[in-house]
Amino acid sequence: MVQQFNPNNVMTTQSVPSDVATTIIDRIMGQSAILQVAKNVEMQGQKTKKFSFMTGVGGAYWTGETQRIATSKPTFMQAKLEAKKLAVIIPVSKEFLNYSYPTFFSEVTPLIVEQMDKAIDMAVIKGVNTPYADSLANAAKTNGSVLSGDINYDNILALENKLYDKGLQGNAFLSTLTNNPALRTAIQKDAGLYPDKLYDSAAKTLDGMPVVDTQQGVLNKGDLVFGNFDYLYYGLPGNLEVEIDKSAQLSTLTNADGTPINLFEQEMVAMKVTMDVAVLPVRQDAFATLNVNTGDDVLGAVPGDGTDSNDKNAKANTKAKPATDVKPATESK
C-alpha cells in the first residue's frame, strides 16, 4: 500500500479555485511525454475500467457482380486500466504567499507540473518508483527489443526493425533534447552526394515519425524509445485535487537537522496536489529501446510503501541509479 499521510497532522485546509486545478492538469497533459503519445480511455469516476482494443481487422475480399461480399471478424483483446494516486506537496514560506493567491499559484504551478510529469514518465518509461506492473523499458527487455550503442543512422534503423521484425509498425519516438545533436548527424554513410538524413528538425520527426521529448532527467543522453503507442493507454478517473495548508507536519520532508517540517511552527504554507492516473501498455512487443535502463524495482518501489507515515525509517528509495554503458551497435541481452 502506498504511504498515506496521517490526517491527525492536518488540522485545516483550504481549497483553491477550480480554474487553478484545470490549468495544472492541462499543463500536465501537454508536457508529459507519455500522456502526449498514449491513447485515452474515459474513466470518469472509476478507479478501474475494463476495455477492448483491436489487434487485427477483418480482411478485404475480391468479389464479382451480384456475389456476396465475404466478411471476417476483427480481433479484439480485453485489458484493464487501474488508477494509482500521484501526489506532491510543495512547502513555501508565508512571505511567498503574501503577494496574493494568484501570484502564489502562478509561481508553484510550474513546479507541480514538472514533478508530476517526471513521476509519470519515469514510472511508465523506465519503471522508476512505479506503482504499475510494467514499463516500456521492461516490456522491451522481455521481448528482446533492447539495443545499446550510439544514436546514428544504422542504430536508429536497427531500433525500428525490432518492431518491424514482429510485424508491427511503430508511430513515434521518445527522446530528450540532449539527443538533438546526435539526431541531426544521423545521416547515411557512403551514400555519395545524396545521403539519407533521418531527422527533420523543423518538423521534429525521425524517419517520418514524430519525436516527443521528455523533460530533463527522465531519459539520459543517448536514450531512445521507439514504439507503436496505439498500444499504450491511459485514463484519468477524476479531477485534480489541490489544497493549501498552514498547520500540517510533513513527516516525509525534513529540515537540515533531520526534524520534520512543521508548517505552523515554521511560518510556512504547503500546497498539496493529488490526482489518479492509470497507464497500461497492452502489448509488450510494441516497444523497443536504445540504451534505456529499467528502474531498480519495476513493481513496488514507491517510497514509504508499506510503512506508516510517522515511521522515521520509511523507505527513502535511495538506491544508486544503474550506470548506462553505451557500446557501439551491439544488442543488449
How do the pLDDT tens digits run along the chain, 333 residues long? 333 333 333 333 455 566 666 777 777 777 889 999 999 888 887 888 887 766 655 567 677 777 776 666 667 677 788 889 888 877 777 666 555 556 667 777 788 888 888 999 999 999 988 888 889 999 999 999 999 999 999 999 999 999 999 988 999 999 999 999 999 999 988 877 788 889 999 999 999 999 999 988 899 999 999 999 999 999 988 777 777 776 666 766 667 777 777 776 666 777 778 888 999 998 889 999 999 988 654 444 455 554 444 434 334 443 434 443 434 445 555
Largest CA distance in the chain: 86
pLDDT of residue 77: 72
- Cβ atoms of 121 and 135 within 8 Å: the answer is no
Q: DSSP for 279-295? A: EEES-GGGEEEESPPPP
CB-based contacts of 133: which residues, under 8 Å, 6+ apart?
Answer: 298, 299
List C-alpha distances in Å: 185 to 50, 153, 159, 182, 195: 44, 8, 17, 5, 11
Query: 3-state SS of the chain: helix, strand, coil percent to 5?
Result: 25, 30, 45
Dihedral sign for Cα atoms in the order 215, 216, 220, 224:
positive
DSSP string, 14-82: EEPPHHHHHHHHHHHHHH-HHHHHSEE---TT-SEEEEEEEEE-PPP----TTPPPP--PPEEEEEEEE
What's the pTM? Answer: 0.75
**Residue 55: per-residue pLDDT:** 67
Pairing of strands 232-235, 39-40: parallel
Confidence at residue 8, expressed as pLDDT on a 0 to 100 scale: 35
Q: What is the pLDDT of residue 318?
A: 37
**What is the spatial distance between Cα 145 and Cα 168, in angstroms, rounded to a whole number?**
12
Count CB-CB contacts under 10 A for residue 298. Answer: 20
* pLDDT score, position 271: 75
Round to whole Å and give the CA distance between 6 and 278. Answer: 25
